Amino acid sequence: MDQQDIKKLFEDYTHICREDMVQINPNGVGLGLSIAYNLAKLLGPKNNKGIKVVSALDRGSTFSFLIENKRSEPVQSAPENEEISLLKSEIDDIAIESVIDQKKFKSYSKRYSRRETSDVALITQREISECVPVLVVDDDTFNILAYESLLDSLHIKYTCVDSGKAAIDTLLNKRCFGSGCKCFSVVLMDQEMPEMTGVETISEIKKLQRQDLIPDIDIIGCTAHQRKEDIDLMINAGAKECIQKPISMLQIQNIVQKYL
């Protein structure tokens, strides 16, 4: 990599353009290196700069970082103890924030679908009584994190699932206590997924809509493919439009304005 590309490495959702290498990583950097960089800064010595990169164009790259053993010596003073406690808290917050919404949804949807007691409905009512406008369907964890970050910044409620089958189950079982609920308004559908591709999932959703089992919902295809044929497959299956990854804030804003 050259120096300009190295500067992009730790930015969120950036893309380093190397035409000869695009097939290896068509999705771009995403969030992985940004998260790793911040963790390295947090866990390293004071005033360290996270991850160091040394790279020679077309030859290779070396990544290095330092992690300080903050428990190598007995903690004897209150300030030291407080510093370690704060560090642990910050690390826990990073881990929790990245998965809390998905865990909460899976827990609530499982408990609500069983309908074991009326108490369950009361427990979950506060969480699901307000309609959730966006359903995100993607099997890649880092893509999900990217969607969450973008939608959170726009204060848009969402639910994330990791497969076509889970998307169909969610659409079939979605219920709401609120008046005038329209279920989801928009589905962001990934193309490359195991078991059911995005095209197959869209086709099945459209079939269920014709049977009045799922209400009309705008489906937006999301793909890393560049070829027009791949994009046309999703449009022909029933997607309103198809956007290319990596998904940008501007693309999400346009979808919100058009479909919500």
- Would you say the pTM of this structure is higher than 0.75? no
Q: What integer pLDDT is reported at residue 237 of this predicted model?
A: 95
Domain spans of the chain?
Answer: 3-64, 129-259
Q: What integer pLDDT is reported at residue 117 of this predicted model?
A: 35
User: Residue 220: enclosing H or E segment and its boundaries?
Assistant: strand 218-223
Res 128 pLDDT > 50:
no
Res 97 pLDDT > 50:
no
End-to-end alpha carbon distance in the chain: 41
pLDDT tens-place string over residues 61-90: 898 888 887 665 554 544 545 554 555 555
pLDDT tier, 21 (very low <50, low <70, confident <90, very high otherwise): low
Separation CA 245–CA 163 (nearest Å):
18
CATH number of the structural domain 129-259: 3.40.50.2300
Res 55 pLDDT > 60:
yes
Q: How far is CA 247 from CA 72, 90, 253, in A?
A: 43, 28, 11
Q: Report the pLDDT averaged over residues 135-147.
A: 90
More confident residue, 12 or 18: 12
Q: DSSP 3-state assignment of 56? A: strand
